[in-house]
Chain A
Amino acid sequence: MNAANTLTPAVTQGRPPSGGRVRSGRRVADRTLRIACTLATLLGAVVLGSILLMLIIEGLRGFSATLLTQPTPGPGSEGGGIANAVLGSLVLTFIGIVVATPIGVMAGTYLAEYGRGSKLADVIRFLNDVLLSAPSILIGLFVYTLMVRPMGSYSGWAGGVALAIIATPVIVRTTEDMLRLVPGSLREAGAALGAPPSRVIMSVTWRAASAGIVTGVILALARIAGETAPLLFTALNNNSWFSANLMGGIANLPVMIYQFALSPYPNWQGLAWAGALLITVAILALSMVARLVVKSERAR
């Protein structure tokens, strides 16, 4: 990024110094590339714009006064809201992030602080990267076998665990990357004061990398908030009001959106759009916040 800025403007614009005396074949190839690349970028922006526009138009149409105060209505009936799904999603995401954060931060700490140069750490780092992009539906199958089948029913706990498994690699990766950016001299200074390694990590390295670690957690939050596939076989859905009993199926936004959007009832479809708008705005806001945290940290 910064490297490109060092080029003089005439050079970045790629204007050959010889002006119009470039062979036409070269010029055509160059123009084609420029136009094609610009069009590709425009297309990406148009798609994002069209998705947001669709969500805003359809989502606002589905909004009503009872949206956030009433549970999902029965098939074909009017009124109702998505309050239970919103609450359920918050609970599932909360469980996921609460389970994933300590494991992810500690594993990232191991990779960055204790595991330097160890073969095991290399293997774990590599497999964590693979897990980072593993299909989420397979994680759903795993948690189904691990929890849903032995316990005999879909449950909120299973959904939370599935989300935790998706969030953990994100946190491991960012924690490790951020800890590696902390200069070794800080650690040495801590050790020279007689602090044991755990003390150095907790009071010096973690503190120095705190903004980065928080960013990782926010990114993980944004990642799991919209996950649908693993919840299909774990938390499933539930049209009744939210209950504190996490042993049964639990309503959640993504699965609600999936089921309602494909249903034949206009009221349900409207609620699905409203839910989709809500969840996308929340996730995009989280991604922006994560970006801002990193930016303010860099500026410091």
Chain B
Amino acid sequence: MASLTEEIALAHPEATRIRRPPSKGLDGVFRGAAYASAIIVLLVLAGILASIAYGGWPAFREFGPGFITSTSWNIGTEQFGAWVAIVGTLASALIALLIGVPLSLGIAVYLTQLCPGWARKPVAMTIELLAAVPSIIYGMWGLFIFAPLFARFVQVPVSNLVEGLPIVGTLLYARVPSGVGILTAGIILAIMIVPFVASITRDMLDQIPTILRESAYGIGCTTWEVVRHVLVPQASVSIIGAIMLGLGRALGETMAVTFVIGNANRLSASIFDPGSTIASRIANEFNEADGMQLNALMALGCILFVVTFIVLIVARLLVRRVKVA
């Protein structure tokens, strides 16, 4: 073969030129551009971390580890601590999970097991459109529609009921029943994470081989038993991954929370009282901030970055492992 090629090359010198791709240079440029674009994604992520760490560094240096545990946020005396915002972030995200996860799982089970065939597509679309609604719209809905109803029908009756009781009397007592507060923020966040968790869970449930379900129904299992003993064990790891993705979203959500959490700088024992999250405090104060306050807000952003990225990385690992298997 080699000799034949050489022969052709000798006889027709122009043939060797054709063998070399005419656009070798362009090919390299294209490949380089694709590579560079992929690297940009890496650089952006590194840049986010670097810029926030750089901006927050003066605050970490000034207040040390006490920055995390300090509850003061005094602009006049330049004393800043993250604890109130951290507690608000974790509390609202926890409430969001407690309410949102059962709802999401219920919707996923409904869509895959119970829903009649003709309704499946419209219902799935309704839930997915909820995910497309911008977060600021959720904020307006929460503040102008949900909060007044919540104050009137939940906060006032519950506060009257539990007043004076130990523990629940402080936890569920609204000093000013305005409808806004950590619980309201948690409920709005729950509504916002439901479409995400539900659609991922639905995809995971759909991936489970039909034969497993058919066998279970075939030996006389009820829907509850199929869900409990067949579907959930099969998809558990990825469902946890989906929940973690929802948690990542709840931790970093800004606009909706800023509308409904009340933006208080003090720590309150009641989940009916206003509070603030890391994201809502940054959104509220950043534009007027200066000097050390700016650095403290950047440091808050740094804490948020670390927490959400750990959550998101774990979530992606859990969701991915199942997809591969």
Chains A and B form a bound pair: yes
- A residues with a Cβ closer than 8 A to B are 1, 3-7, 11-12, 14, 16-18, 22, 26-27, 29-30, 32-34, 36-41, 43-45, 47-48, 50-51, 54-55, 58, 102-107, 109-111, 113-115, 120-121, 123-124, 126-131, 133-139, 141-142, 144-146, 165, 168-169, 172, 194, 196-199, 201-202, 222, 225-229, 232-233, 236, 254, 257-258, 261-262, 272-273, 276, 279-280, 283-284, 286-287, 291
User: B117 — nearest CB in chain A belongs to which residue?
Assistant: A5
A-B contact pairs, 5 of them (CB 8 A): A3-B206, A41-B127, A44-B130, A106-B37, A276-B137
Interface hits, B198-229 → A, CB 8 Å = 198, 206, 209-210, 213-214, 217-218, 220-227
B55 CB-CB contact with A under 8 Å: yes
A31 to B129, CA, bound (A): 29
Is the CB–CB distance between B31 and A114 below 8 Å? yes
Is the CB–CB distance between A51 and B137 below 8 Å? yes
Chain B residues near A3 (CB-CB < 8 A): 206, 209-210
Pair count A-B, CB < 8 A: 292
* Cβ distance A77 to chain B, nearest Cβ, rounded Å: 23
Q: Which of A36, A40, A138 contacts B304 (CB 8 A)?
A: A138
What number of B residues sit within 8 Å (CB to CB) of A?
Answer: 103
State whether A142 and B52 are in contact (beta carbons under 8 Å apart), knowing that A48-B129, A106-B34, A133-B312 are contacts in the complex.
Answer: yes
Interface membership of chain B positions 135-156, coded 1 if the CB is closer than 8 angstroms to chain A and 0 otherwise: 1111111011100000000000
Q: Which of B34, B36, B42, B102 contacts A40 (CB 8 A)?
A: B102
Q: Which of B23, B138, B251, B298 contacts A199 (CB 8 A)?
A: B23
Q: Which of A14, A30, A139 has the most CB of B within 10 A?
A: A14
Q: Which of A7, A129, A165 contacts B217 (CB 8 A)?
A: A7
A168 to B44, CA, bound (A): 10
* Cβ distance A81 to chain B, nearest Cβ, rounded Å: 19
* Cβ distance B215 to chain A, nearest Cβ, rounded Å: 11
Q: Which 9 A-B pairs have the closest CB atoms?
A: A135-B252, A226-B134, A40-B106, A198-B30, A106-B37, A14-B223, A30-B222, A110-B34, A145-B51
